[in-house]
Structure 1
């Protein structure tokens, strides 16, 4: 058995200080009965609050947290003394010192055995208490302390209405107290939520199980004296980028979360402002290129990425290709292995659109990579031809698995397009022409967002094609997760009229709901073949319109194809896809550099159909 580096640090957090303190007391006794050495720290509040009460002229409602504390930071008359302004730093310093001292005590008492340090106040409580902005230095200090905790038990003992109706629907002080806990808990690692409304004995039993599980994981984990290897993923797209928010950001987030099981993971992405944040155990670093606009921002991101790679120490880098040049020649600037992920290699499509030879830079850059992941077999053949020495792996995307609802097969009230608004690449002009020609009985819904220029172009196209007394084409704008699920569930079938795709993640998502997908017969989309899809010769608008009308009028056909789509989607799981990225990372990091030779050309990891 591998001995952990130090005691397991566990915090019981939540607005109810009495409840968390009593939980720590119960856990101390229960863990002691199991033979673990336990050191418990009970807090009665920050030492500054105990020794230096806030003067009446400084006190605000909700002291010391809430908006009042934040407002005083910009009002010299209400900020109090310098000591008061350093409150959060002093509190964090006291917490760090106390847990360090408790760790020494636990290690001495355990004599090489397993030990646990329990605190009834953790970094999560400090972040909430002071209402700290995400990017502040004090918040960063609390978050670094949170990284030392092996487990934080968030005791949710608010009123039943909070859980029954949701946080946003409940008014009153309970919501004000719980909302920041919920917000910060999403951004800190190793948070375990516990229902505090149950009997104290049941709460303690649940907490005991969580702590024991954490101890067992430490027993089977690699030697903690060896630092975790650092894997960095880079992608221009991000869920907060209003101009894109494509499937690439979702894929990288899934891969990062899976890699975080065995490695220290950082995601480098674009943003309007520079900054870092922790989300689900993954560190996000933003390069401030968003203010340059979507096109110039992509070029800036590509040019700055090699400089960022030299500043962030890493053992492995996974680079999601970014248009227009796709590659950034990253392998030239780092001695660590680099894996190129082909999610946005579109230089050929941009050449056909703008007649600018972006593909020349792309082809030169691809030859620098020794490891490349592609989404489909057709792109794999192209990349192997352009980079003969590269080890090219085909790893398809995944989808959240769901049971196929036989009662909804063949139903639907509208035709759906879902994706990024890019009129030319996504073929929206072809779609509107085909819909105008065929005039199917179902309305067309377009959901998605893009750059302001692309959105204006789409609005003009919709206005030109929808001239009847009753509008039949509706552009909904960006669809959030819940709205997206509703659209997929209620649609009759999905249309994907793209001129260029690398995989088509939204098609797979539609298939998981048992919906047929109508698309042009592009090589990159042939993974859907015989999976309930309907293909049309590339860019044949008349034929596309006819097949659209056929699907819209024949519910029996939609039902038969929808069942095949749903069954085919069950072979594409996130667990399998991300597991292959994890295996690839281990192969590159666990093998000596001299032995990292690409496998036989043509070998690939294809998703089983």
Structure 2
């Protein structure tokens, strides 16, 4: 006959049963039941399933106290006839023979040692989780200890076991019929199952948060039911740092500020749009750099500026990264999004906070900076990435590299977006000049390679350069342009400097195609912007730019100036080719919108804050022009 499987309410007269669950910190989960119910194998299976869903799990095997492990049946504790036969039955039926002093001392020793072991396991789990959700899973719990020793309710050992039970967020009681256990060889070890199940029924009524599982079902079904119950408990746990009735607090940190004209690069603009989208569902604070410290609010978002810009570019970035851990200790938050700041990249922020930290790697540059400056920034990056459990990259090439450097991290590929524009068929294939649009960095953007290719190609179109940089870079570019145009009746290369949004739009509409001769690229947001206007993009075939394949781009082998010049001349002299490629570019750009990009971050934030136990959804691999290979 199978025991009833409906949950039984706790005894309202028991003060311990009426206490709310202690859910702060690590969740304690016990798998209880007689040894023959397969609780140890179920605990192992649950550990694997929970890790696959992004939780940090520490599995604690309980094999009795130190005395039990050294001597499985201690002679001074064992009563006559135990553990089997009539002597065992008489001992159960006779209250005077039950709970001798030695047995109570044995129970107290086991309870105290068990409490210490789960405390150590909880500390290990929190250390490994680094602010994420963690679970300590035991293949036996306080319920099993109370049933095993069957102590009087007022005994010291029973009180310790019940206090331990109050710390557990969930106890899974695996039930089977009395006729199942003898077939598994359990009766010869522990005695008649009916007596033990009577104890389990009695104690389960007095302990809180007991969930019963049908142990006679297939092991996979039992594991699935147990997994669902654990994940439900994780989702229902209140966040300890969030005040009741308030929205979760998300902090976004980035050195560049999208509102600062001196550093309005693609990364700052993308992070600014992400912050505005997150503000729809969360309280958002943006931590950025400024010339003076302070805070303010704009568009419902709080901005905190660290006074580090006066020290210069690289020193300011280094100071910004050094201050972030201290800022994280002062600003209470539920989730932190950290945009990495090259060349120093990570700030080891997960070591300073218990909340989840998402690293946003908008472009890996350490190897390129090593080739240029011979400074091993990549060593800092390789060590720092291993601290992050959640990392977002903008292209599949960077995703593969980050997975190699940090195998344990959950790496998401979320491409940048662009405003959607209606294609004007009458403008496709037209244009009065070829356009370079981006930050002025002669080496990184490959402007020296572009000038050399333009000299070799001698195309019929002018080359227009749009962008700003540091004073030193701008002086160097002005010298290059002057040297190239010297002796010509009309300048062939024109640098117009900064362009506001309206002028930028007109230049893109009037251009024939874009050139991107970069030695290193992060994502190529400028290329995506040109594609949205139906303009082809000529570029070197860099791994970070392969998301454009088949989308109206023209790729040549990296740093092959001769090939770049040949394709430049081909595009400049063939309007029909530009028309075909431009149409494909405009169609491809529709797959990357700001709404889609910011929606990816919003979904990630909800997954980490609302359902921390849910499994990471696999990325779709290969959809038309945008691939994640």
TM class, shorter-chain normalised? 0.5 to 0.7
Q: How many angstroms apart in 1 are the aligned matches of 2:374 and 2:562?
A: 27
- Residue 304 of structure 1 deviates from its aligned partner by 1.4
For 1:308 and 1:513, how far apart are their aligned partners in 2?
41
Equivalent of 1:480 in 475, 495, 500: 500
Partner residue in 1 for 2:419: 400
**Cα offset for 1:276?**
2.1
Q: Give 1:428 deviation, angstroms.
A: 1.1
The equivalent position to 2:317 in structure 1, one of 298, 314, 320, is 298
Q: In the TM superposition, what is the alpha-carbon distance from 1:350 to its structure 2 partner?
A: 0.3
Contact 2:363 2:398 in 1 (8 A): no
Question: Equivalences for 1:351-370 in 2 at 5 Å?
Answer: 351-370=370-389
Q: C-alpha separation between the residues in 2 aligned to 1:365 and 1:501?
A: 21
CA contact (8 A) 1:395 1:605 kept: no
* In structure 1, distance between residues paired with 2:623 and 2:591: 7
Which of 540, 547, 567 matches 2:560? Answer: 540
| Alignment match, 2:106 | none
Equivalent position of 2:103 in the other structure: none
Q: Which residue of 2 aligns with 1:328?
A: 347
Kept after mapping to 2: 8 A contact 1:496/1:519: yes
Query: Structure 1 residues 551, 491: CA separation in 2 closer, same or farther (over 3 Å shift)?
Result: same
Out of 429, 442, 447, the residue aligned to residue 448 of structure 2 is 429
Q: 1: distance between equivalents of 2:565 and 2:526?
A: 21
Superposed CA deviations along residues 202-231 of structure 1, whole A, max 9, x for unmatched, are xxxxxxxxxxxxxxxxxxxxx996111110
Corresponding residue SS for 2:382:
helix
**What SS does the aligned partner of 1:340 have?**
strand
Pick aligned residue for 2:520 from 500, 503, 519: 500
Task: Please list the CA deviations of residues 48-100 of structure 1 after superposition, one character each: whole Å capped at 9, or x if unmatched.
Answer: xxxxxxxxxxxxxxxxxxxxxxxxxxxxxxxxxxxxxxxxxxxxxxxxxxxxx
Q: How far apart, CA to CA, are the structure 2 residues paired with 1:299 and 1:473?
A: 37
Contact 1:571–1:608 (Cα < 8 Å) also in 2: no
For the pair shown, which has the larger CA radius of gyration, 1 or 2? 2
**SS state at 1:325 partner:** coil
Q: Conserved in 2, the CA contact under 8 Å of 1:321 and 1:345?
A: no
1:511 aligns with 2:531: yes
For the Cα contact (< 8 Å) 2:346–2:381, is it kept in 1?
A: yes
1:584 to 594, 599, 604: 604
Cα deviation for residue 460 of structure 1 reads 1.8
Question: Which residue of structure 2 aligns with residue 308 of structure 1?
Answer: 327
Q: Indicate how the Cα distance of structure 1 residues 607 and 490 shifts in structure 2: closer, same or farther if over 3 A, else same.
A: farther
The 3 A distance-change label for structure 1 pair 405 and 238 is same
Picking from 548, 551, 554, the partner of 1:531 is 551
- Residue 307 of structure 1: how far off its partner (Å): 1.6
1:464 Cα deviation from its structure 2 partner:
2.3
Q: Distance in 1 between matches of 2:391 and 2:536?
A: 31
Q: Which secondary structure state, in structure 1, belongs to the residue aligned with residue 426 of structure 2?
A: helix
Correspondence for 2:396: 377
Q: 2:279 aligns with which of 256, 260, 266?
A: 260
**CA 1:560–1:289: 2 relative to 1, 3 Å:** same
CA contact 2:338–2:357 (8 Å) conserved in 1: yes
1:457 equivalent in structure 2: 476
Partner of 1:110: none
**Structure 1 pair 518–290 and aligned structure 2 pair: CA distance change class (3 A):** same
Q: Of 285, 298, 304, which aligns to 2:304?
A: 285
Distance in 2, matches of 1:433 and 1:558, equals 23
Q: Which residue of 2 aligns with 1:274?
A: 293
Q: Distance in 2 between matches of 1:297 and 1:520?
A: 32
Measure, in 2, the Cα distance between the counterparts of 1:439 and 1:307.
55
Question: Higher relative contact order at CA 8 Å, sep ≥6: structure 1 or structure 2?
Answer: 2
Task: Return the alpha-carbon distance in structure 2 between the equivalents of residues 255 and 368 of structure 1.
Answer: 23
Task: Tell me, in whole angstroms, the C-alpha distance in 2 between the residues paired with 1:573 and 1:529.
Answer: 18
TM-score by length of 2: 0.59
Map of 2:462 onto structure 1: 443
Equivalent pair of 1:322/1:345 in contact (CA under 8 Å): no
Q: How far is the alpha carbon of 1:415 from its aligned partner?
A: 0.7
Q: Secondary structure in 2 aligned to 1:425? A: coil
Residue 230 in structure 1 maps to residue 245 in structure 2: no
Q: 1:235, 1:224 → 2: CA distance?
A: 26
Alpha-carbon deviations, 1:522-569, whole Å to 9, x = none? 011000000000001000111111111111111111001000000000
Q: Work out the CA distance in 2 between the residues paired with 1:296 and 1:303.
A: 10
Does the Cα contact within 8 Å between 1:326 and 1:344 map onto a contact in 2? no
**Superposition deviation, residue 475 in structure 1:** 1.0
Match of 1:149 in 2: none
Partner of 1:604: 619
5+ long unaligned stretches in structure 2: 1-241, 625-629
Structure 1 residue 465: Cα displacement: 2.2
Stretch moving more, 284-293 or 358-367: 284-293
> TM-score, normalised on structure 1?
0.61
* CA 1:379–1:371: 2 relative to 1, 3 Å: same
DSSP 3-state at the match of 1:492: strand
Once the 2 structures are TM-superposed, how far is the Cα of residue 599 of structure 1 from its aligned partner? 4.1
Distance 2:331 2:469 in 1: 31
CA contact (8 A) 2:363 2:523 kept: no
CA apart distance, 1:591: 2.6
Shift of 1:321: 0.9
Name the count of aligned residue pairs.
382
Q: Which of 471, 485, 505 is residue 491 of structure 2 equivalent to? A: 471
Q: In 1, are the aligned partners of 2:417 and 2:593 still within 8 Å (CA)?
A: yes
CA distance, structure 2, for counterparts of residue 395 and residue 469 of structure 1: 48
Partner of residue 552 from structure 1, selected from 547, 567, 572: 572
Check the 8 A contact 1:242/1:451 in 2, yes or no. no
Q: How far does residue 241 in structure 1 lie from its aligned partner after superposition?
A: 3.8
1:13 matched residue in structure 2: none
Structure 1 residues 111-146: Cα deviation after superposition (integer angstroms, max 9, x where no partner):
xxxxxxxxxxxxxxxxxxxxxxxxxxxxxxxxxxxx
Q: Matched residues in 1 for 2:472 and 2:495: separation?
A: 15
Q: Distance in 1 between matches of 2:485 and 2:471?
A: 21
1:337 is the counterpart of 2:356: yes
SS at match of 1:327: coil
Cα distance in 2 for partners of 1:559, 1:416 equals 16
Contact 1:294 1:451 in 2 (8 A): no
